[in-house]
Amino acid sequence: MNTEHKNGEVAVVAGVGPGLGTALCDSLLAAGFEVAGLSRSSPTQTTHSKQTLTGDKFLPIACDLTNQSAVDSAITQVEQTFGTVSVYIHNAAVLLHRDFLQTPAKDFADLWNITCLGAVHGIQRVLPNMVAAKKGTVLVTGATASVKAGAHFAAFSSAKFALRGLAQSLAREFGPKGIHVAHIIIDGVIWGQQAKNFGLSEHQCLQAQAIANTYLHLIQQQRSAWTQELDLRPDIETF
C-alpha cells in the first residue's frame, strides 16, 4: 500500500494522548502529512513517546473541544502554520462505567459534549474548505458502545450512539460533495495502561498501531469504493 502523500497535506487529530491518538499522529507523519494534535491538556512534544513527534511537521495544541471558540482558534493556528486541513480525525471520548441511578444528568451532558458536540465543532470548522476543494476525509472513532450498549454504560453509550448518527448523516450529505466520512468501531480494549488496569493481556487487546494503519487505508480509499463504517477487534473478541 502506497503511504506517500504530496507535501502540504494537513491532518488534525482531535483527542491525542498515549495510545491511539499518538499512533495516529505517528502514522500520518510517516505518510508525509503535516499533523496537528489537539488535546485538552497541554500537549507538548515531550509527552509523546515516538521520535516522529519531535520534528517541525507536528503541532501540539491544547484545546477544549467542547468550546467552539477554542476549536476555531486551534484550527486557525493549524491553517496559519501548515495550511488547509484535508483530514480531520475525531478521537476524543471519556469512558464512564457507572450504575444508571448513580449517574447524574451532568455526566450525560459532559460525555455528549466531549464525544459528539466536540466532533461537531471541529468538523463544522474544517468542512467548508473541504467542500470548496471537493475533497477531504473525516474519520470518527466509535466503540463497541456505539452499536451495543452494555449495562452501566448508559452515559457513554448514548454519547457514542449520537456520534455514530452524526457520522452517518454527514456521510450522506457530504459524500456526493467529495468528502469521505467514516465511522470506525473499536470493538475491544486498546493495549495500554487501561487494559492492564482491567487485568487484560496484550493478546486480548487491539494494538494502537494496527488501528492507525486502518485509518490510513480509509484516508487513501478511492471514492468509487469508500467505507462508511467498519469495526475492528482482536481475533479472540466475541461479537
Secondary-structure class of domain 10-232 per CATH: alpha beta
Q: What is the pLDDT of residue 236?
A: 87
Cα distance between residue 43 and residue 206, in whole Å: 24
Give 46-70 as a DSSP string.
GG---GGGGSTTEEEEE--TT-HHH
Question: Helix (H, G, I), strand (E, B), or coil: what is residue 186?
Answer: strand
For 187-230, the pLDDT digits (tens) are 988 888 877 877 888 889 899 999 999 999 999 999 999 999 99
Judge whether 200 and 156 are in contact, CB under 8 Å.
no
Q: What is the pLDDT of residue 51?
A: 46
Q: Smallest Cα–Cα separation from 58: which of 97, 32, 86?
A: 32
Cα distance between residue 31 and residue 208, in whole Å: 16
- Indicate the length of the chain as a whole number: 239
Q: On the CB side of 220, how many CA atoms lie within 13 Å of its CA?
A: 17
Cα distance between residue 68 and residue 8, in whole Å: 26
Q: What is the pLDDT of residue 160?
A: 96
Q: In what order do the strands lie in the sheet with 10-14?
A: 58-62, 34-39, 10-14, 85-90, 136-143, 179-186, 229-232
pTM: 0.92
Q: Smallest Cα–Cα separation from 211: which of 188, 183, 232?
A: 232
For 138-149, the pLDDT digits (tens) are 999 999 999 999
**All structural domains of the chain with their residue ranges:** 10-232
Cα radius of gyration (the chain): 17
Q: What is the pLDDT of residue 225?
A: 96
Which regions of the chain are under pLDDT 70? 1-8, 42-54
Q: What is the pLDDT of residue 1?
A: 34
Cα distance between residue 13 and residue 91, in whole Å: 7
Residue with cell 479472540: 236
